[in-house]
Structures are given as C-alpha cells and as structure tokens.
Structure 1
C-alpha cells in the first residue's frame, strides 16, 4: 500500500463518529437512533421496533433520574441531566469538526497532512483505549454502566480505532 493510500484511509476512518452522531447536535435524544438501530447488531441480533426506545421513553427515563435525586439536591440533579445532554451535543460538534478536518486533509498533498495525522492519531489511540476498556481491559477510567452491547462495541471498535491510529501514525511519519 502506498503512503498516500495509508494516509487517506487513516483520515477516512476518522469520519465514522460524525456519520453516526452528527444529528445529536440538533437533537441529543436522537442518540436513540444508534441505540435502536445500530447497537442491536452487536448483541448479535436485529433491530426490532417493539424494543426501540421512543422520545417519550427517553423523557420518562430522564424524569425518573430527576425524581431519584434527593429533594435537597434537585437543582444539582437537573444540572447533571442538562450536562449529559449538553456533552452529547458538544461531542457531536467535535465529530463534525473532525469530519471537516478529514475532508480538508483529503485535499492536501501527503506532506501537508502531518498535523491532522497527529491530532487524529492521538484521537484514534484514545478511542482504541476507551473501547478496549469497555471490552474489559482495565485502565483509562471506569464506565459504571457498560451494557452487553456496549462491551461488544468495545470488542469490535478497539481494533478499528487501533488500525486508524496506526494508519494515522504512518501518515504522520511519512
């Protein structure tokens, strides 16, 4: 494989999060699209409308979380729910920024892509470590609620992101 091909593939792999999460900028609860129609494949299984979360289900779950907070800590509970959805939107914005960087990088000659490969290589390395952690490898924090499908996502995407990191390293070093 040529250096340009490795570089291009390394950049293109970094588009994956934007493909799945961009809509969450406008509607953070649309993360349910991934929950309903993507994660079931990791069970393994097929998505079923009868098991799909609805908007009302999500609002009920958020309300239940708010109701579970001690009364004297209600404002902090409300801020916590706000922050989770706010971070969902910011994460989607960051993925859009990555996508813009990828698309711009594809227009550059190989020699001028090094800064993008550095940033995306670090991102891919950290994503690989987090996914490996969700798959059961200790280190890089603790997610207290990894679901079965979440573990399976970690098993699949740790190598995906490791490959993206390696390709971006190759692109950076060329």
Structure 2
C-alpha cells in the first residue's frame, strides 16, 4: 500500500488540471508533471524508496528512460548500489553513438525504470534498444501508472510491470 502522505504530497506538487495531450495521443484533464517531484530531492527519495520493493531480487542493472526515468533510476541506484544505465530515445550521432549509456547492460538482468506510464509506448521503444544492447530485460518499474487496469504494456505482453503509485492513488 502506498504511503498516503507521499501520494498527497505528489498530488499537491505534480498534479495539474487542464487539457493535456499525452505521449499516447490521449487527451487528459489531469497531468502528472513528474519533473516537479523529480526535481525535489526529498520527494524523489521517497518515490525511489517506494520503488525499491518492486525490483526483482535478481536485478543487476537499472535502466532509466530518457528523460524522466533517469533521475529516478539514479536515486534508486544510490540506495541499492545497483549500477544505472540511461536509455536515450535514439542513438546519438556523435561521441559513442550509443542509445544506452552508463553501465554495461550486455548479458545483464535489467529492469527498466520509468516515471509515468499510460500505455507504455516509450517503454516498448526503449526495451527494443536495451535488448539490442544485449540486455535481458526482466521487468519494468514505474513511479506512476496512469493507464487503465493493472499495469501492463500491450507491445510487451509477457513483461512484468509494477508501479509504486497509480492515478487512483493520486486522485486522478
């Protein structure tokens, strides 16, 4: 069960009302501005702590998705001591020319870390890149699930997806 004070604090700082287009193309009257809680060290620490028990025991690397999953993966990494990798939306065209930076994921059991998931389109895109880098993706852990029903990603039907909070926990 989510810490009700955390849910209330996230709702207060990050829940915006209006008309918002989500990455999925859906229109929503409520938007969870994850950057507002990710930029607050105390809230970010509390979110990371809520995510810790959701990590599979055999996790070897945390892979934070650009951009919002990166600070969360870093915060979880600091607490667990697990190395972190950072997944770009596409390989950069300079320097290392990699889509997956940081910890080496090749041959490792990797958990994808995301901030807010509605349908999981960005997660499915990142999973392809992380798999192509040689990782064995064993799960997805997100801070907020705002999709319908139980957390799941249609494009990754066999992938376990867990969430620290849901839109219902946040009153949305």
TM-score by length of 2: 0.24
Q: Which has the higher strand share?
A: 2
> Bigger radius of gyration, 1 or 2?
1
Q: Which has the higher contact order (CA 8 A, sep 6+)?
A: 1
TM-score by length of 1: 0.24
